[in-house]
Amino acid sequence: MPSPPHETMVMLLREHPEWLRALLAKLAGRTVQPELAPMDAAVRVVDPAEVRPDLLFAAPHGGAWTAVEVQLAVDPAKARRWPLTVAALWNERGVVGDLVVLTADRSVAAWARSVGRMRGPLGTSLGARPVVVPLTAAVAHRLLDEAHPELAFFAAWTVHHRWGREARSVVLRAVEVVDAMPDAALRATLVRHIMGMLHERLLAKLREATMDLQKIPATAAFLRWEAEVEARGEARMLLRVLQRRGLVVDAAARARIEGCSDLATLERWADAALGASSVEELWGG
């Protein structure tokens, strides 16, 4: 099952393709064609063969395209699938495009640069070398750009799997930068997504920090963050209770619980979960 860091990145880039352009311009010095828009990512080669990159951006009526893979770990199958994806899109759209790989792990970045090439016993060669963008902590400071506050999400993503002092500093600064965005709904969404992808140990340290506000400046952004930390912890605890009780939590129910930022509602659901015979009983609890 795809992890929250993977799904959050894919969802936000699908909803905001201009963020991909800003990200590649900032870190890779590459320019993505402005006319590209999200499309069905299924690439059919021959029936029933199908490859599906995480994201596909393409011009509406053929031509230019860019495929995106969010790669959190080494996957040997991609050595075969990436060349197939590139070849199929080239054949389908008539022009050569790009395959972009985003990762927060240096070793995965090195692997991604080295795979996707084959050579037959008689010398036939085929390959696809993707544009690899390492979203590691080393580039986080470049993404904490107040002129482009949407990139602060990617800064937090660089440390989603870490929990040390540096990770906490990056995340808190990212929240402050996001707080400068004029769209209040988008600010809340980004903070919620950042919370949803963080390592449990980092969440625990943030909860500890709320006990001593002298350790972290009590800005308006941090106070909102504190509420998100508490709500996120309650949501995770509720999901654990449901799992321990053997109740089936489908994707819609999980999304509803994880997307709820109202602590009183989550507490009401948690009380109902103790005696519920199904997840549906929570909503009326």
Instruction: Reply yes or no on whether the pLDDT at 221 is more than 80.
Output: no
Instruction: Reply yes or no on whether the pLDDT at 118 is more than 50.
Output: yes
Instruction: Reply yes or no on whether the pLDDT at 279 is more than 90.
Output: no
pLDDT of residue 256: 87
Cα(72)–Cα(28) distance, integer angstroms: 19
Q: Tell me, what amino acid is at 152?
A: A
pLDDT of residue 188: 78
Query: Positive or negative CA dihedral for 80, 17, 194, 269?
Result: negative
Determine contact, residues 84/44, Cβ cutoff 8 Å.
Answer: no
- For the chain, what are the domain ranges? 4-135, 162-284
Binned at pLDDT 50, 70 and 90, residue 22 comes out as: very high
Binned at pLDDT 50, 70 and 90, residue 56 comes out as: very high
Torsion of CA 28, 150, 196, 208, to 10 degrees: 100
Residue 244: partners with Cβ closer than 8 Å, 6 or more residues away: none
**pLDDT tens column, 3-16:** 888 888 988 898 89
Least confident interval from 151-155, 156-160, 189-193: 189-193
pLDDT of residue 183: 85
Q: Out of 76-85, 239-248, 249-258, 262-271, give the one with best mean pLDDT.
A: 76-85
Mean pLDDT score of the chain, rounded to an integer?
Answer: 84
pLDDT of residue 218: 43
Binned at pLDDT 50, 70 and 90, residue 246 comes out as: confident
* Number of Cβ atoms within 10 Å of the Cβ of 273: 22
Q: Out of 43-52, 149-158, 252-261, give the one with best mean pLDDT.
A: 149-158
Instruction: Reply yes or no on whether the pLDDT at 83 is more than 50.
Output: yes
Mean pLDDT across 164-193: 85
Binned at pLDDT 50, 70 and 90, residue 117 comes out as: confident
Q: What are phi and psi of 75, to 5 degrees?
A: -135, 100
pLDDT of residue 48: 46
Give the rounded percent of residues in the chain with a pLDDT score beyond 70.
Answer: 87
Mean pLDDT across 222-241: 73
Mean pLDDT across 42-66: 76
Q: How far is CA 216 from CA 96, 206, 225, 243, in A?
A: 49, 10, 12, 35
Please identify, in words, the CATH class of the domain defined by 4-135.
Answer: alpha beta
Mean pLDDT across 173-198: 83
Mean pLDDT across 196-215: 71
**pLDDT tens column, 90-110:** 998 999 999 999 999 999 999
